[in-house]
Amino acid sequence: MRVLPLFFGLCWCALAGAATPPPAPTQASGAGAVFAAELQATANRLVGQALQGNTAYAIVESLATEVGPRLAGTAAEARAREWAVAKLQALGFSNVHIEPFEIPLWLRGVETAEVLSPYPQPLVITALGASPATAPEGVAGEVVAFASLAQLQRVPAGSLAGKIVFIDEMMTRTQDGSGYGVAVAKRLGAGVAAARAGASAALIRSVGTGRDRFPHTGLMLAADENAAPAVPAAALAAPDADQLRRLLGRGQPVSVKLVITPRSLPPAPSGNVIAEIPGSQAPAEIVLLGAHLDSWDLGTGAIDDGAGIGIVVGAAQLLLEHLPHKPRRTVRVVLFGAEEVGYGGARAYALEHAQELPRHVIAAESDFGTGDIWRFDTAVAPERIAAAEAIGELLRPLGIGPGSNSARGGSDLGYISKAGVPVVDLKQNGWDYFDLHHTANDTLDKIAPGDLDQNVAAYAAFIYLVADSEVSFR
């Protein structure tokens, strides 16, 4: 959606929406106490520019069209890195380079399923990432349904020999995406729990909120904590999970057959792509802006995470193009590789830049689709909350409400956050995100030009305020 260009300071009290009205802004308190008026005015200009036009949509259009799907470790992900280097250089960034690393490669194969009895018919599935393969001719068995992973974990070990388990748990639609954390447990753990129970394979209701016939892929655990391997596992599209539920409700035993033939291959090249706006006065101090370059293989990675790439590159590019001077600190854009298959890029970055992490002033990642930002969360030292709140105040004219100090910082920031780098969440509305997430339907047409503008405006203002000031969050 589009947001009118409301400039900072014009009307943020009216928009704040807090139960207790905030105090009126003055130069002596709130944002004014942290950021000089000139800084605020410049941030305002960046917001105005972002809302009037920016490169975010063109960037995701280019990535989703000219690369398309880019599973980690594949030639397509390598093409995405080449695309990113060329794009970031063309936009005028400095120090554009690839930091390579390797990850285990998993490639999807055939994936079919069918009800054998009592009512023969095909079912639409997709293999979960890292799943082992079935035999080429597949595996068949009677279905045993569970309402949750926890329920499956409670059955006696070895008690489901020859069965195929079906975890039929719905995902709750939420604005903040919290339904995902609950629902993803069954995706991660179904294969291992089914193996422990002695079953031949596992089916789950897709981790997703949509009603359309798209199965949602995503990573699973290929082995438990004792390295005992999982059984093959796949996700049913929601209509097929409904169908299997109805069939089981008829009261007769239901047998299904499942064929999935993915291959787990030796480590393959991945990499992070890095670009910078070098700081003019404190270039060693880093404001990190992240998104991930890899995608699942089924869609074209437009919302996951082409949108995030567009948002962070588009925001940084506004600073490059519209500031009269380079910011004090270095703005570093990191396009992580291999996020979907286990945060390989996040780990590689934390290792490669370990010496530098103490000089990372703050980090933020965009990886939640196209929804407007509705909340600003931080994870900073208690004595730095005032500075964080000052930024939050300045974001309110964009419809962004106050948040908490319990930000998690995006999946690619996990390692550096643990290492002490302060993180923030510019939390997007995730109401519809899991309709498309990890499906074949994650394609460019789901993003309209302008959808990303409010995000670009918020990120541009945020990184500018931190990069061109001396504020600390440590």
Contact positions vs a second copy (CB under 8 A): 61, 65-69, 75-76, 79, 115, 119-122, 124, 211-214, 238-239, 242-243, 246-247, 250, 299-300, 439-441, 443-446
Residue 155 CB, nearest distance to a second copy (Å)?
27
CA 346 to each of CA 123, 230, 334: distance values in angstroms, whole numbers, following the listed order: 36, 25, 10
How long, in residues, is the chain? 474
Residue 151 CB, nearest distance to a second copy (Å)?
24
CB-nearer residue toward a second copy: 99 or 111: 111
453 is written with which tokens? 């503008």
CB-nearer residue toward a second copy: 2 or 211: 211
CB-nearer residue toward a second copy: 71 or 416: 71
Residue 440 CB, nearest distance to a second copy (Å)?
5
Identity at 152, one-letter amino acid code: L
CA 417 to each of CA 72, 449, 462: distance values in angstroms, whole numbers, following the listed order: 23, 33, 18
State the CB neighbour count (10 A cutoff) for residue 4: 8
Residue 246 CB, nearest distance to a second copy (Å)?
5
Q: Are 447 and 311 in contact (CB under 8 A)?
A: no
CB-nearer residue toward a second copy: 76 or 385: 76
**339 a catalytic residue:** yes
Of the candidates 339, 340, 365, 393, the residue annotated as catalytic is: 339
Report how far residue 179's alpha carbon sits from residue 182's, in angstroms, rounded to the nearest whole number: 5
CB-nearer residue toward a second copy: 119 or 228: 119
Residue 135 CB, nearest distance to a second copy (Å)?
20
Residue 176 CB, nearest distance to a second copy (Å)?
25
**Does 377 sit behind a cis peptide bond, omega within 30 degrees of 0 on the bond before it?**
no
CB-nearer residue toward a second copy: 439 or 455: 439
Q: Are 104 and 265 in contact (CB under 8 A)?
A: yes
Which residues are part of the catalytic machinery? 339
